[in-house]
Amino acid sequence: MTVSCSRCGSLANSVMSFNYGDRAVWLDDLVDPQQPYGYSLCADHSDRMTPPQGWTLTDRRTVARLFAPVHVA
């Protein structure tokens, strides 16, 4: 199963979630396509993500920028 970027439709590899109370935004690796909330983003859009004024952005992604294709033997 693949997840598309909510902005451009490209293959997503990270997910953005936020908490209004804390004014916090997080970027995480997209590990579970069934994650109940958050916006899926491709690498391009997650890299260009800027939080709203007064919010803090925490990038919790592992910095594995390598594209890892899945091969089925």
Residues that bind Zn ion (CB under 5 A): 5, 7-8, 10, 42, 45
Comparison of 7 and 24: residue with beta carbon closer to Zn ion: 7
Shortest spacing between CB 6 and Zn ion, in angstroms: 8
Cβ atoms of 24 and 58 within 8 Å: the answer is: yes
Residue with the shortest CB distance to Zn ion? 5
Comparison of 8 and 23: residue with beta carbon closer to Zn ion: 8
Beta-carbon contacts of 41 under 8 Å, excluding residues fewer than 6 positions away, are: 5, 6, 7, 12, 13, 14, 15, 16, 27, 49
